[in-house]
Amino acid sequence: MERGLCRAVPYAPADWRRLLCSVALGFAATGNPPPSLSPAATRLVAALAPAARRARPGEHHLEPRLVHVTVDADDVAELGSHARALGRQLLATPAAAGTGSSAGPGPSAVALPDLVRDLAMVHGLLDLDPGVDGIVLRRWGADGPLIVPPPPEALEAHHHLAGRVFAMWDAGTRS
């Protein structure tokens, strides 16, 4: 299995700060023994941190803005495993479906349904292969801050990939 996966995620600093907390909490809640933040969780949070930082002055990006990150395939698989484990817990525990229940140990009380939704969305985004569009964007240097405007081929690839990424993002952020 390929280890370093290049992935595109939406630029949404406030949302990603919350999602990164959910990732850490989700790993800790299903850790062995809880609470334990595995190396995989630490690597994922570090890899996704650029999506949670504020834009630097003078940076120019294609709109809608995507952040391109590299994550480890095994870490993404482990994230999916934690999401499934918490999802099974949610389905097995009717009381856990309430908005006031906590997913387990952690710095903040997050309702289990929200935690499962967050983990599943992050896993889905990281599991979404950018395909040929990602290759085109990297070739033209349009997968990060822009120095010169990219050619139409790169713009088309960006909009195609952004459409797929934001469709998943919108589905995951609807409450």
**How many C-beta atoms lie closer than 10 Å to residue 8's C-beta?**
24
Q: What is the per-residue pLDDT across 101-133, written as a single tens digit (0 to 9) for each?
A: 444 444 345 688 999 999 999 999 999 999 999
Backbone angles phi, psi at 71, to 5 degrees: -125, 160
Q: What does 98-161 look like in DSSP terms, one character per residue?
A: STT---SSSSS---HHHHHHHHHHHHHHHH---HHHHHHHHHTT-SSS-SSPPPHHHHHHHHHH
Q: What is the mean pLDDT of the chain?
A: 86
Answer whether residue 32 shows pLDDT above 70: no
Check if the beta carbon of residue 128 is closer than 8 Å to that of residue 68. no
pTM of the model: 0.84
